């Protein structure tokens, strides 16, 4: 391998040159985990300094005598820990250079620790991830979709449909203009050299009318209400993993993953929030069956409500339901989703209030 016109023969540069971003590493963890890790790191650092302090103490005691008193080691570790967080300082021996260095190191750590903790808190404040995703994407028959027209047109079809569910977990955050898109990511071998090439396919999802579209749009995001992204497979799915989706044959593909990405805007701040969820076809992120509709208790205050018990569960298998009836003569939908009334889905079974997987238009 030659670099710079052959002037660096024998030198090999490895790619890709991965680097870990500390900011994004912090953003991906909870504040409790970060504080525990910081405290554990400072405690271990304080214990190490305490051990070095006792080893370099200008006394004639043996190692057994120095480390035989466990309470002394514990007390010294606490002294060093207080110095490392900036609330105390060590008192080194005047003529002991190692003690002077260790005391200086503890003091510098005590000056930097509050700034690091403040930086962690600021990063967590601005790393907003408001959506909770269902653990797996469920695959059921196309007639189970929450759209009467789409369900009727696929009443006699064996095609499958993928449902991806999520909800806004912040009760004090109002989001609007929610958009969802789906992509298929897979690898196939190049016909030229046989290397694996990454491909991405933009998948069609059902819009608010139950028609295939490039994206799904919601005007507002109700707090805690589940939203469903319906992705037609356009092929039967008798078992997992499926080998075909929207005309793409995956029999010769590797590393197949489904990406669902959502974006929204916050009310008041006007900032954009984005989140995404990857589903690995070979990693157990898909399951066969229809998800359980959430059951909300409208008579209980939200702060006293324990939440949904079966958000990640599937409905038990049963006989195929009768397709929903056609709309009435005035054009109104037979089954719709509302925010305050119990609704029925495409199967005719009671669903949950506020489940915005269907048309989202108020009932007549």
Non-local (6+) Cβ contacts of 139 within 8 A are: 160, 161, 162, 163, 233, 237, 240, 242, 286, 287, 288, 289
d(C-alpha 180, C-alpha 250), whole Å: 24
Tell me what pLDDT residue 163 has: 96
d(C-alpha 307, C-alpha 297), whole Å: 9
Cis peptide before 16 (omega within 30 of 0): yes
d(C-alpha 287, C-alpha 166), whole Å: 16
Tell me what pLDDT residue 305 has: 66
């006989």: which residue's tokens? Answer: 319
d(C-alpha 288, C-alpha 241), whole Å: 10
What are 43-48's contacts with CB under 8 Å, separation 24+? 43/77, 43/81, 45/84, 45/109, 46/77, 46/78, 46/80, 46/81, 46/83, 46/84, 46/106, 47/77, 47/80
Tell me what pLDDT residue 140 has: 94
Question: Whole-structure pTM over 0.75, yes or no?
Answer: no
Q: How many CB atoms lie within 10 A of CB 23?
A: 13
Structure confidence by residue, pLDDT tens digits, 28-68: 778 788 888 888 999 999 999 988 988 888 776 777 777 77
Between residues 340 and 144, which one has the greater pLDDT? 144
Structure confidence by residue, pLDDT tens digits, 228-268: 999 999 999 999 999 999 999 999 999 999 999 999 998 88
- On average, the pLDDT of the chain sits at 80
Between residues 26 and 195, which one has the greater pLDDT? 195
pLDDT grade for 70, boundaries at 50, 70 and 90: confident
Q: Is the pLDDT of residue 349 over 90?
A: no
pLDDT grade for 348, boundaries at 50, 70 and 90: very low
Structure confidence by residue, pLDDT tens digits, 199-225: 999 999 999 999 999 999 999 888 778
Q: Is the pLDDT of residue 101 over 80?
A: yes
The rounded percent of the chain whose pLDDT value lies above 90 is 38
């Amino acid at each position: 391998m030659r670099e710079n016109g052959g002037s660096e023969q024998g030198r090999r540069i490895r790619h890709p040159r991965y680097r870990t971003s500390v900011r994004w590493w912090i953003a991906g963890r909870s504040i409790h985990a970060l504080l525990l890790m910081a405290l554990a790191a400072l405690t271990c650092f304080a214990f190490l300094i305490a051990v070095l302090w006792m080893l370099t103490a200008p006394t004639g005691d043996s190692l057994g005598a120095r480390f035989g008193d466990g309470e002394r080691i514990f007390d010294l570790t606490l002294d060093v820990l207080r110095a490392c967080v900036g609330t105390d300082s060590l008192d080194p021996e005047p003529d002991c250079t190692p003690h002077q260095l260790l005391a200086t190191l503890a003091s510098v750590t005590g000056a930097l620790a509050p700034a690091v903790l403040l930086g962690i808190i600021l990063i967590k404040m601005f790393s907003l991830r408001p959506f909770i995703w269902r653990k797996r994407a469920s695959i059921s028959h196309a007639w189970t979709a929450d759209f009467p027209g789409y369900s009727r047109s696929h009443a006699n079809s064996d095609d499958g449909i993928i449902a991806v569910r999520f909800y806004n977990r912040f009760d004090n955050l109002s989001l609007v203009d929610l958009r969802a898109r789906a992509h298929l990511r897979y690898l196939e071998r190049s016909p030229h050299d046989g290397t694996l090439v990454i491909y991405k396919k933009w998948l069609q999802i059902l819009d608010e009318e139950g028609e295939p579209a490039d994206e799904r749009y919601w005007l507002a995001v109700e707090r805690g209400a589940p939203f469903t992204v319906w992705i037609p497979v356009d092929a039967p799915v008798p078992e997992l993993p499926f080998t075909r989706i929207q005309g793409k044959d995956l029999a010769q593909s590797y590393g197949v993953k489904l990406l669902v990405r959502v974006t929204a805007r916050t009310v008041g701040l006007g900032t954009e929030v984005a989140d995404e969820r990857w589903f690995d076809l070979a990693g157990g992120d898909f399951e066969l069956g229809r998800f359980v509709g959430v059951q909300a208790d409208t008579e209980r205050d939200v702060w006293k409500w324990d939440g949904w018990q079966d958000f990640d569960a599937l409905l038990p298998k049963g006989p195929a339901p009768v397709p929903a009836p056609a709309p009435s003569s005035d054009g109104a939908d037979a089954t719709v989703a509302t925010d305050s009334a119990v609704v029925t889905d495409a199967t005719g079974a009671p669903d949950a209030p506020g489940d915005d997987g269907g048309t989202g238009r108020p009932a007549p």
